[in-house]
Amino acid sequence: MKIVVGLGNPGRKYAGTRHNIGFEVVRVLAERNAGDRWQSKFDAETAEIQIGSQRLVLVAPQTFMNLSGRSVRSVVNFYKVPLADLLVICDDMNLACGRLRLRASGSAGGQKGIQNIIDQLGTPEFPRLRIGIGRPDESVGTVNYVLQTFAKSERPLIDQAVDRAEAAVEKWVRDGIESAMSLFNRSEDAES
């Protein structure tokens, strides 16, 4: 079993915002893999899917971004999975809009949901998939920026990024983190 966590903020108010890109990816994974039965548990919405012979639990914490670790710790403890079998998906302002970056472990990089997960698990040693949302210009603060919906001109790029993120998760499940990193961490120029 593997656990895939998409980070975001609960409620309609935050649907479609930059901070909720992780939620978008787990929803797409559920839709495309017959996991449309969502349940409330572990302070999260969860669904189970199958990719090949591998069972996955999809998790969308409902604790708000900065407290995501509580939900993640509960799921990991319940299923007793090694942290190598946990993948966390989140937004990243340090990446160009639509760019993906997979890592086997690492720092929070300023992402407060990831930081809270590190704090709750007591280690940064778990895989994560970051999706670039770009940087705000100086007139827009960070908080306002991450809580904005994507501009109409950005939406095709983000939809493409969500599709690629879903494919990256499937690659991680089937072939492991190193293989997924080598395929999905390439620059846009290399992918063309």
Dihedral (CA of 140, 137, 160, 116) sign: negative
Tokens 């160009």 label which residue? 96
Asked whether 6 and 62 are in contact (CB, 8 A), the reply is: no
Tokens 């970051």 label which residue? 130
User: 17 pairs with which residues across the strands?
Assistant: 149
Catalytic annotation present for 76: no
Which of 18, 19, 112, 164 is catalytic? The answer is 19
CA 138 to each of CA 32, 97, 142, 147: distance values in angstroms, whole numbers, following the listed order? 39, 17, 9, 16
Tokens of 40: 């409330």
Give 106: exposed, middle or buried? Use CB within 10 Å, 0-12, 13-18, 19+.
middle
Write out the catalytic residue numbers: 19
